[in-house]
Amino acid sequence: MAPDTVSLRYFLVLAQELNFTRAAARIGIAQPALSARMRRLEAELGTALLVRDTRSVALTAAGAALAESAPPALAALDRAWDTARSAAAGELGTLRIGYSLSAGAETVPALVDRLLRDYSGLEVGAVPMATPEISSAVADGRIDAGITRGEQPGRDVRRFVLRRARIGVQLAQHHPLAGHAEIEIADAATYPLRLPDRAANPVIHDQLSALFRDIRPRPRLHTPAVSFDMSQRDLRDGVTLAPAGEAAATTQPAGLTWRPLRGAPSLTIHLVLPRELSPLHRRIRAAAKALAHELHWLPD
């Protein structure tokens, strides 16, 4: 059986001092207690480590070998303890973040970068998912956290607002409305409007379509065949508009722009975590709050 590490550390002090009185004072224990520790250590190892007489202390061959080999072994053990503590504190390990493609253009990369910057021991993996699946995946542990547009339904999770963004429209730079600093909802409704597929994100689909609920005549709404198209080909005709959050303004393909809709409510992006927060989840939450403050994602 391996000796206890406290006695081993005491032995190393004694091996340096070769004097029980000085070693006991350096450790901060009584000399008889140190002598008892050394006798117990020798009994555990089954060999003498020290040669004692009334005037001096010397190391045996076994004692000298232990004094040489023990420090790196204890250092490795200390590192193992530190690693275990760091993992328990959420500073180490693999973090899986689920996100929808629409939230992944700007928000998720910024959060991943912040986590890697704050916690160098974490490995962060971002997993693209359909928005309706994210909350349930967080709840059952398939992923550690999720980023969703809108307050998606789901049980056994907590939702924290990470970002509030104005709602506007994406449109071609040569569109007649592109010259306005803000666009009236009624004016936008006179053009064909592209909405996301409701099956992909019912919450956002309903929020965007509700903007035009009271507009008469009813606007022409359509859903593209491709649920997420970075090229935005259907907007390049210079006619179609796509209601979208403000984040779209920073990820525009060439030839497109974004303008806010006057009077439209904000669109929210949420961080989704399990109901019971582990140290790792608390660190994710802290990093997300710091990021939101740093990038002014939430009003003061």
191 vs 183: CA distance, rounded Å: 12
For 173-192, what is the mean pLDDT? Answer: 92
pLDDT of residue 87: 61
pLDDT of residue 104: 66
- Binning pLDDT at 50, 70 and 90, where does residue 196 land? confident
Longest dimension (CA), the chain: 107
pLDDT of residue 11: 93
DSSP the chain: -PPPHHHHHHHHHHHHH--HHHHHHHHTS-HHHHHHHHHHHHHHHTS--EEE-SS-EEE-HHHHHHHHHHHHHHHHHHHHHHHHHHHHTTSSEEEEEEE-HHHHTTHHHHHHHHHHHH-TTEEEEEEE--HHHHHHHHHTTSSSEEEEES----SSEEEEEEEEE-EEEEEETTSGGGG-SSB-HHHHTTS-EE---TTT-HHHHHHHHHTTTT-SSPP-EE--SSS--TT-GGGTTSS-BEEEEGGGGGSPPTTEEEEEBTTPPPEEEEEEEESS--HHHHHHHHHHHHHHHHTT-S--
User: What is the CA 285 to chain-centroid distance, rounded?
Assistant: 7
pLDDT of 129 > 60? The answer is yes
pLDDT of residue 52: 87
pLDDT of residue 232: 65
282 vs 273: CA distance, rounded Å: 9
pLDDT of residue 105: 67
104 vs 85: CA distance, rounded Å: 32
Residues 6+ apart with CB under 8 A from 254: none
pLDDT of residue 12: 93
pLDDT of residue 142: 92
pLDDT of residue 168: 92
pLDDT of residue 138: 94
pLDDT of 25 > 90? The answer is yes
pLDDT of 300 > 70? The answer is no
pLDDT of 61 > 90? The answer is yes
- Binning pLDDT at 50, 70 and 90, where does residue 55 land? confident
- Binning pLDDT at 50, 70 and 90, where does residue 123 land? confident
Q: How confident is the model over 96-119, as pLDDT tens digits? A: 899 987 776 678 888 988 888 888
pLDDT > 70: percent of the chain: 89
Per-residue tokens: 134: 């994210």
Phi and psi at 152, nearest 5°, equal -70, 140
33 vs 287: CA distance, rounded Å: 48
pLDDT of residue 219: 86
For 50-62, what is the mean pLDDT? Answer: 87
Give the residue, 138 or 201, on which the prediction is more confident.
138
Q: How confident is the model over 69-105, as pLDDT tens digits? A: 999 888 888 777 766 676 666 665 678 899 987 776 6
Residues 6+ apart with CB under 8 A from 79: none
138 vs 300: CA distance, rounded Å: 29
pLDDT of residue 154: 87
Residues 6+ apart with CB under 8 A from 215: 185, 186, 189
Average pLDDT score over the chain:
85
pLDDT of 229 > 60? The answer is no
Give the residue, 83 or 42, on which the prediction is more confident.
42
